[in-house]
Chain A
Amino acid sequence: MSDPPARTIYRAGWKELLFQATYAVRSGNPAPDGDPRDFSRKARQRVILSQAAASGFLALIALGGVGLLSDSLETLVAGPALPRVLYIACVLGGLFIVQLGLLWWLGLQFLPTFLSSSIVPVLRTLPLRAATVDRVALLLLARLFDAPSLTCLILTPIAVGVALDSPWAGLAIVPAEVTVVVLALAFAVATGRFFVKHVLGSPGGHKATALRWGYLVLWGTPAFALFGFVALASRFLNFVGNLSFYGPASELGGLLAVYPFSYALLPAFAASPGPTSVVPIPGGVLGVVGLMALYAIPVGLAGRWLLTAPGKLAALTAGGRASADAPRTVRVRSAPIAILVKDLRLASRTPAFAFLILIPLGDATLLGLWTAFSPLGTGNPTELAEAAVASAALLATFFGPAFFAIEVMSYSYARSLPLTGRSLLLGKTTLILSLYSLAASVVLLLTLVRYFQPLEFGAFLLAEVPAVAAASLFQLGILLWVARKRGLPLVNLYTGAFWLAAVSLPGLVVAGTPIALYAILSPSGVGEALLVMGTFAVAELALIAPLTIGRFGGSAS
């Protein structure tokens, strides 16, 4: 007897995946209220909305990257020294890295939903061939990826073709975009495997915890590299310009031969007909095509691996054993601190949440290092440090609401506890404040190595503390209100993208207003500007804290 077509099985699985992605009943959320006949439709709408939000962000990145190809921006960003063909290759190479990083990160966001939906393990119990189940798993995973992937595959070639006024350039970028999508999917699945085996199942104990966070930092490196690439793009262009002007050509050739620049050279050649001698790769266009053919081998292998990898990933089970140094006693903390510690422990075994903690810290470290060690001559170090602190504040508050999502991961059980909204709000706000304080301190410590202005930097950091607390309370208050009104489990960043954005933006306004006031007033006096900033931040907290805690201080559910 032959199996039914994978597509038929996939349709039923997709319906279940949409439901679990939205309502997360298998992850512990209570069954939603309302007419069960509407659940499927609502789940589809929610996922479409979130996919649209994620795709919209990728579209903005693509259009922004391609926008840099205009002549006026080229002069502004790179100056006249860099040959155009190299400039195009650098911009497009950077765009590929950013797209790869974002798609990979997005993959990590929705893999937990894919795994916890348990669709594949259920299929394994049925009399189906392993190849059929593997194909269904691939179809399900690809379907979750489809809108963001199609954004890259379709929008980027069109935008490049239009920006460079060359349909050939648009066509020439297609292999690069296919490679980006295949690699991002492969990285997401490979990292997912690693996490299930070594992080999710990691036992308790100090050594195991340190090791887990070590893995997570390593994992975050590509995401930080993405931030670093954006931050250092201008310097990189100068570096390439100097290399093309002064040599050695072998170094430039070597750099351009590396992925993803080799892929970016083809559209650059297509858009800039003329001598290819500025690109020191033997064979010119043919050499570039040869390199791409060479890279196609590992990419093809990754694609082949992907045919069966999602199915195998879904069947993996974590199997950690306790380490010898694990404490055997139970240590109880106050309710807000218990929530904070629980969040950190969950994040240490959940990549999607770990990123939320590591991104503000990683970003702060990169910006701090840049401020401390870059060859700045005339730049205002105070402004740079303060911009870095502001970025830490905004990143901490932007990602803050997701920690509410951690709370609802096991909502049905957590709801049975005598948890007060006050403890919940204080616990989450403490976490966000800790993130901000740690990230901002890293920036300041690194900056102080070079520019010793501890009073001003410290005052700026402290003046923003009440605003971060107010922003966090404001966001969590909105989330509690939404959760009570709609019974909305904010499962993860991917399926809850709309609500997380709707909550994050007002929070960013609260956290950003004192910083904006400082930026406006500081030219006429730093002391006065700091005073206004601090006073405004305290006023925000004084207004928002009683409102939020008063309104939601009782039972959390």
Chain B
Amino acid sequence: MRGGRPGSDGVPLVVDQLEVRYGERTAVRSVSFQVAPGTIFGLLGSNGAGKTSTIKSILGLVPRSGGSIRVFGEDPATDTVAVRANVGYVPESTLLYDALTPREFLEYVSGVRGLATERVAPRAAAFAKAFRLEEEFDTPIVALSNGTRQKVVVVAALLHEPGLLLFDEPFNHLDPRSVRLLKEILREYVSGGRRGVLFSTHTTELAEQVCDRVAIVDAGRVVAEGTLAELRTRVSGGPATLEQIFLRLTDEEEGIRGAAQSVRSEDR
């Protein structure tokens, strides 16, 4: 499944008025955005802003309480298997099958996805080489470092060349070389103009470097969305970094100064 499916509308992801609730608590409120073909879209927000809940609801892992989601025109609530088949997912925490080796894990994932050995084997070998996983390819995951686990789950998400990548904090634990490599891979991935990437992060520098468009999420709502240039027009005070834009739009700039002063060390 390279890019969209035949007959689909060709748009990797459309989220409209999404709501997610956990009991009494509302984690996501009326969130709307679209990942256009050939773009990398970033969800930027603080911890607990609702980024992970949004991504999980796109996969059908968390039931939505309202709104709609379409992945290449298909609804994850009703076409769950089809949507998951066309998505590559990197979860926020890399809890894998600890008792399997990376090779065994990739064999399992590829089997469930119904891929062919001829297609998977050379890609797996290429990714293992690119991410320098070869030495650990037959070591049980339980014995791997967090960074290596993250690389394994990234490879598993890319192996079947899905139309949409859902990456939840994908740069967690990665070393600088792997961070750079993954950025290059993501850019290359969408260059064909049909596939899309949605990735969440709380690191403004990463969002600034990688994303074509960014949605700033705060307390379950999208407070602003656009390219970096468009977002700059939303704040006053001249040219700003994405961090400054984020803090101003979420009304945190003043609060941070106050918070830092409140925990100032006595030892000065």
**A residues adjacent to B (C-beta < 8 A):** 26-28, 30, 33-35, 200-205, 317-323, 326-335, 337-339, 341-342, 345-346, 348-350, 409-410, 412-413, 415-420, 423, 554-555, 557
Contact = CB atoms under 8 A, between A and B. Distances in A.
B99 A332 contact: no
A330 B121 contact: yes
B82 A418 contact: yes
A204 B23 CA distance: 44
Interface stretch (B139-147, B172-180, B203-211, B224-232): B139-147
B163 interface: no
B138 A342 contact: no
B138 A30 contact: no
Given A317-B143, A318-B140, A200 B99 contact: yes
B9 to A, nearest CB: 20
Interface stretch (B38-46, B108-116, B214-222, B255-263): B108-116
Which interface residue of B84, B111, B116 has the most chain A CB atoms within 10 A? B111
State which size class the interface on B falls in.
35 or more
Given A33-B23, A334-B114, A555-B84, 12 more contacts: A200-B98, A200-B142, A203-B140, A318-B140, A318-B143, A332-B117, A339-B111, A346-B99, A410-B95, A415-B61, A418-B112, A423-B112
Contacts of B59: 416
Contact of A204 (B61, B95, B138): B138
Nearest to B101: A204
A345 B138 contact: no
B110 A330 contact: yes
Contacts of B99: 200, 345-346, 348-350
B142 A342 contact: no
B113 A418 contact: yes
Given A323-B138, A330-B117, A332-B110, A418 B100 contact: no
16 contacts: A33-B23, A201-B140, A203-B139, A326-B137, A326-B138, A329-B117, A330-B106, A330-B125, A332-B111, A332-B121, A349-B99, A410-B95, A410-B97, A413-B95, A415-B61, A420-B81
A554 B81 contact: yes
Contact of A416 (B22, B84, B97): B84
A26 to B, nearest CB: 8
A403 to B, nearest CB: 14
B135 interface: yes
A302 B103 CA distance: 40
B95 A332 contact: no
B97 A332 contact: no
B35 interface: no
A342 B121 contact: no
Interface of B: 22-24, 59-61, 80-82, 84-85, 87, 89, 91, 95-101, 103-104, 106-117, 120-121, 124-125, 134-140, 142-143, 153
Contacts of A35: 23-24
Contact of B61 (A320, A323, A350, A412): A412
A412 B56 CA distance: 10
A4 B125 CA distance: 52
A346 B120 contact: no
Interface centre among A26, A328, A332, A555 (most CB of B within 10 A): A332
Contacts of A327: 103
Contacts of B117: 329-332
A413 B153 CA distance: 10
Contact of A418 (B84, B125, B136, B138): B84
Contacts of A331: 107, 117, 121
Contacts of B101: 203-204, 322
Given A203-B101, A328-B125, A322 B95 contact: no
A329 B127 CA distance: 12
B113 A417 contact: yes
B120 A332 contact: yes
B110 A417 contact: no
A58 to B, nearest CB: 29
Nearest to B24: A35
Given A204-B103, A416-B91, A417-B84, A338 B135 contact: no
Given A332-B110, A409-B97, A204 B125 contact: no
Given A322-B135, A330-B106, A332-B107, A33 B22 contact: yes
A213 to B, nearest CB: 14
Nearest to B85: A418
A333 B107 contact: yes
A26 B124 CA distance: 28
Most chain B Cβ neighbours within 10 Å, of A26, A30, A34 = A30
Contacts of B100: 342, 345-346
A27 B97 CA distance: 8
A446 B267 CA distance: 80
A27 B93 CA distance: 11
A458 to B, nearest CB: 33
Contact of A321 (B82, B106, B134, B139): B139
Nearest to B110: A332
A555 B81 contact: yes
Contact of A30 (B61, B142, B143, B153): B61
Contacts of A202: 140
Given A319-B143, A322-B139, A349-B140, A339 B112 contact: yes
A332 B121 CA distance: 8
Contacts of B137: 204, 322, 326, 328
A307 to B, nearest CB: 27
Contacts of A555: 60, 80-81, 84
> 3 closest pairs, A vs B, by CB?
A338-B111, A322-B138, A204-B138
B96 to A, nearest CB: 6
A338 B112 contact: yes
A338 B104 contact: no
A328 B111 CA distance: 17
A112 to B, nearest CB: 10
Contacts of B106: 330
A255 to B, nearest CB: 41
Nearest to A556: B81
A334 B107 CA distance: 10
Interface-centre pick from B99, B125, B138, B142 (highest chain A CB count, 10 A):
B99
Given A342-B104, A418-B82, A418-B85, A334 B95 contact: no
Contacts of B142: 200-201, 317-318
A322 B59 CA distance: 34
A557 B77 CA distance: 11
A417 B95 CA distance: 14
Nearest to A417: B112
B17 to A, nearest CB: 22
Contacts of A30: 61
Contacts of B82: 418
Given A204-B101, A205-B138, A416-B84, A342 B95 contact: no
Contact of A333 (B81, B111, B136): B111
B104 to A, nearest CB: 5
Given A204-B101, A330-B103, A335 B111 contact: yes
Contacts of B98: 27, 200, 410
A200 B139 CA distance: 10
